[in-house]
Structure 1
Amino acid sequence: MTKLTTWLAHTGLCVALALPIIPAGTHGAAATPFTAAGAIPGNGPERLQQVRAQGHDGAALRCLTEALYFEARGESLAGQRAVAEVIMNRVDHPSFPKSVCGVVNQSGQFSYKGRSLRMRDSAAAMRARRIAAELLAGAPRTLTQGATYFHTAYVRPSWTRRFTRTTRIGSHVFYRSGRGARIASN
């Protein structure tokens, strides 16, 4: 990526994150952040600073964006957020690497890894980047009930018997460690 496209991508992200916090009709007045579905209060350029302050850097944002783009770009917003939750849940889980890039680059975990792929759909890439930034900034993880595994619904991996199914969102089925009663049967 050239310096210009890197700069444009960063600037675009800042603008995309800043827009949801300015309600229509305020025209420069002291705006109060709103919490429409998917919006996070204070989710503007200041959130980027919080992401860095929490130990996440540009590499974490790139790794999570790439994973969302290639694993879930055809999914709904909830489906993409759910995949991001799994990655962030893995970062917090003692059985997985302690960084976003460590989780994403862990051998054999994501089907797109090992290929020479480019994010050709810029709108989908920006959406994935926005979702990644929100999760890195601490957005609530409420969609998957702590899932650390997922697969597409058209396959039935043998490892699913060892885990508790939590939910299905779009074309992905989500699981967490441990046995016990299923939380969702969809």
Structure 2
Amino acid sequence: MRTFAFAAFLVASLALPNVTPAETGFARLFQRDQSGSTAAPKRRQRGFLFFGRKPAKVEPITYTTAWLDSQPAASGDANFECLAQTLYFEARGETVKGQFAVAEVVMNRVASAQFPNSVCGVIKQGTGRRHQCQFSYTCDGRSEAIGERQSYERVAKVARAVLDGTSQELTEGATYYHTTAVRPRWSRTFTNTAQIGVHLFYRDERYRTASSD
């Protein structure tokens, strides 16, 4: 009803000779209408903007194979490839949550001044010196051929989610991990922050990352 009244008022105002909208009070009415729109709740304005279509929803991570299988096929640049390959060789037999935790360690290292500042730099650190690399699969002398395609596709989705920043904090800033089958010397000097699946996670207090503050 208000819209029709406003339109009628405008037409009548413009039809009068030598009378401007400002002189008839049109400017004041227009200003009032504009200020009312500005003061409207943001939720109502969003509802108007998205009329006829629903805003995109970000589905929460549930750390299950069902969730992974529901995600689109993952792809990316060299850093994505490095992270996906690391998850395949280091954690494909782990739980989904454990795979996310291992990927988080890589990202925590990228954020730390103690390590290289790229995903591939972190993963390949020390590679070429047998058993002196940071990630054992890069210097154990074994083939790095990917034989389990479905497993790779799943861990690739984990890598994509972590690189996109959609995962949650799991390890409290850990930059090291090892399986429960071993106990390396360095584990005695670092802070144990979590155990997820068969991996124990550690943080070096001298190089705390932003995520662990």
Tell whether the structures are fold-level matches, with TM greater than 0.5.
Answer: yes
Q: Could you tell which deviates more after superposition, 75-84 or 106-115?
A: 106-115
Match of 1:90 among 109, 128, 134: 109
Give the letter for the 2:135 counterpart. F
Question: Taking every aligned residue pair, what percent have the same amino acid on both sides?
Answer: 45
1:113-160 CA deviation, whole Å, 9 max, x = no partner? 133221111111001110001111112341111100000111000001
Amino acid at match of 1:90: R
* Gap regions ≥5 residues in structure 2: 1-52, 127-132, 207-213
| Structure-2 residue corresponding to 1:170 | 197
Equivalents in 2 of 1:125, 1:136: separation in Å? 16
1:37 is the counterpart of 2:57: no
Question: In structure 1, how many angstroms separate the alpha carbons of the residues matched to 2:166 and 2:105?
Answer: 13
Shift of 1:162: 1.5
**Aligned ranges for residues 104-183 of structure 1 at < 5 Å?**
104-107=123-126, 108-114=133-139, 115-178=142-205
1:37 CA drift (Å): 1.8
Aligned-partner Cα distance in 2 for 1:36–1:95: 30
| Matched residue type, 1:128 | V
Q: Name the structure with the higher helix share.
A: 2
Letter in 1 for 2:148: D
> 2:79·2:119 contact (CA, 8 Å) conserved in 1?
yes
Q: CA deviation at 1:32?
A: 4.1
Matches within 5 A, 1:44-55: none
Give 2:184's aligned amino acid: P
Matched position secondary structure for 2:138? coil
Matched to 2:102, the amino acid is V
* Residues in 2 aligned to 1:159 and 1:135: alpha-carbon distance in whole angstroms: 26
Looking at structure 1, the residues matched to 173 and 166 of structure 2 have their Cα atoms a distance apart, in angstroms, of: 14
Contact 2:100 2:167 in 1 (8 A): no
Is the Cα contact below 8 Å between 2:161 and 2:167 reproduced in 1? no
TM-score normalised to the size of structure 1?
0.68
Q: Check conservation: 2:87, 2:103, Cα contact below 8 A.
A: yes
Which runs of 5 or more residues in structure 1 are unaligned? 1-28, 49-56, 180-186
Based on CA coordinates, which of the two structures has the bigger radius of gyration? 2
Letter in 1 for 2:105: V
**Structure 2 letter corresponding to 1:135:** V
